[in-house]
Amino acid sequence: MRLLATLALTALLLPLAAHAGDPHSYAQPDKVVVTHLDLDLHMDFAHRQLHGDATLTLHWKDPKAKDLVLDTSDLKIASVKAVADDGRTRPLAFTLAKPQKDMGRKLTIVAPGHPGMVRIAYATSPDAGGLQWLPPAQTADKKHPFMFSQSESVYARSWIPLQDSPAIRFTYDAHITAPENIRVLMSAPNDPNHPLDGDFRFEQTHPIPSYLMAIAAGDIAVHTTGPRSAVYAEPSVVAKAAHEFEDTEKMIDTAESLYGPYRWGRYDILVLPPSFPYGGMENPNMTFATPTVLVGDKSLVSLVAHELAHSWSGNLVTAAAWRDIWLNEGFTTYVQGRITEALYGKRQADEEVLLSARALEKSIGHMPPNSQKLAPDPRGVGADDSLSDVAYDKGSWFLRTLERRFGREHFDAYLKGYFDHFAWHSITTEQMLAYLKPHLIDKYPGKMSWAEVKQWVYGTGIPKDAQLPDSPRFDAIDKERAAFLAGTLPAANLDAKDWNTQEWMYFLDRLPDAPPLDKIKALDAAWHLTGTPNAEIGMRWYIHAIAAGDKSVWPAAAEHMTRIGRLYLTLPLYRAFAKTPAGLAFARKVYAKARAGYHPLTQEAVERLFARAVQRTAH
């Protein structure tokens, strides 16, 4: 295969332990690989579970293999059967091992004769880590229940028995039954005109990894935004969402002009209830998005640019292991910036680059050395821990460095070729580098040394010669912030009337960690930051006000924490409160009220933070 021909060059790279298997999966893809999944599930809102069958099509690679090993988590397995070509079935023996932390339970199926298909009858747990079931009261319109999945990184196994590793790609079909008047959506082409008759069918003809399996259902309306795009959301939200995302078709056109055709057919966006734990999730054909980006001025629509960019970097070309996740997120953050620049101008794109880069500069030195690497050495951490700012922001910084050294024209041609070459494959960092060397580094000699490349990928920190764009607006804000803190510029005289979201974020990000209380009071009096509907600004404002000791903001901070379940916008407030005994006690009370509306991932993160705070107090 042409893909494998590049591996001869890996001898030029730093030595690294071979990826014999995914440390976050029980699967044994060297013995057998799932090539297709057929789901037939019923959605039971009353019992908060999915139940039905998963039929796996198998490609046996090892003639001596005796078992099929799958990943599961909290699944109730009723039966396992081999399915013959004529449809006849025979029972297969199986065992479920004891659960392991962050891994779930290994399902071992005895498979004599290497059946081509295996059918598993099962039901999910009401507490499945990858599913959230919301009662009507926790939705925007409060009429019908809602459910949605979040499979990344290793939570697909909590609602489907499968090989839950990004190295394994498969196609799928699904038949989902649900109550009438409920719309069901999946990570496959969705029909905006589908009747709400409780019977839905989906077909994903492109091979995807398990973490891109997605499902959602609820009282969901549709608003078309283009010939191949639409916005889905609760009825009271859909018009606002459609206005915010009305440039979606332009984004698709822009990305295609840079990196080749959009290969997935439709690109739709589902705006979820506020409990969604992430900003967005790049599920193929159906991005899941947080409502916190709906601020009315399109200042946060780069999130859509990011999730769309995943249609090339991540969904088309996928990291083969969570250790390599920068191949998804670093590349996507770079492409996001190019889309933002093309549609909204270089100023906004540069400001977003600077915001993330400055935040990384501040945080990377506090990370363990191995966590500072784009491609870390083998380590005993959970899959979720790989999704750090290093993967996103150091990764995109490296690609911007390549663009600057080789020129945009040459780098664009390289990147387009990279997507074409590895399309529909999952690859490692070493495979990416083995393609980079002949197709960019050696092709244009003298631009960048291989030692510099290895320093970016395998080195700690940020290379000293890493450059950032200039931003006159940010430079002016730096001067105003300094004068304000020095007492020579009153808060009311800040030239902030026309600051956009990114500029307020930058001003707040670079305040002292614990600003003087009088400065916080003056800022609030002049600019009324407490109670802001803009969650990006609110998160930054509240953590500084809490650190300054301004208890007057606590009720508004609690409202923010209760209303928003997005980890990035909520966890920093819990962290700020947890630094003092009084704050920790207040945060616990807020959490007791908010917990039921949080996704299981958010619950886990907050409870882990509380446990660490108690440990610190004990010592």
Annotated binding site for Zn(2+): 306, 310, 329
Catalytic residue among 232, 267, 334, 392: 392
The pairing of strands 117-123 and 105-110 is unpaired
Phi-psi region of 531 (alpha: psi -120 to 50; beta: other; left: phi over 0): left
Which string of b and e fits 262-296 if b means at least 16 CB within 10 Å?
Answer: bebebbbbbbbbbbbbbbbbbbbbbbbbbbbbbbe
Number of other CB atoms surrounding residue 174 within 10 Å = 23
CB 545 within 8 A of CB 520: yes
User: Residues marked as binding?
Assistant: 306, 310, 329
Out of 152, 244, 307, 341, the active site residue is 307
86 C-beta neighbours (distance < 10 Å), count: 5
Q: What are the backbone angles phi and psi of residue 289, rounded to the nearest 5°?
A: -130, 150
Could you tell me if residue 556 is left (phi over 0), alpha (psi between -120 and 50 degrees) or otherwise beta?
alpha
Torsion sign over Cα 296, 298, 300, 306: positive
Residue 586 to residue 330: CA distance in whole angstroms: 37
3 state DSSP class of 418: helix
H or E segment at 201?
strand 199-209
DSSP 8-state class, residue 464? T
Q: How far apart are CA 360 and CA 388, in angstroms?
A: 10
Q: Residue 504: in which H helix or E strand, if any?
A: helix 501-509
Contact by Cβ (8 Å): 128, 150: no
| CA 97 to centroid of chain Cα atoms | 29
Distance CA(344)–CA(19), nearest Å, equals 41
Query: How many CB atoms are located within 10 Å of the residue 360 CB?
Result: 21
Identify whether 392 is a catalytic site residue: yes
Distances (CA, A) of 62 to 27, 35, 92, 276, 321: 14, 15, 19, 41, 22
The alpha carbons of the chain give a radius of gyration, in whole angstroms, of: 25
| Amino acid letter for position 618 | A
How many CB atoms lie under 10 A from the CB of residue 517?
13
Positions marked active-site: 307, 392
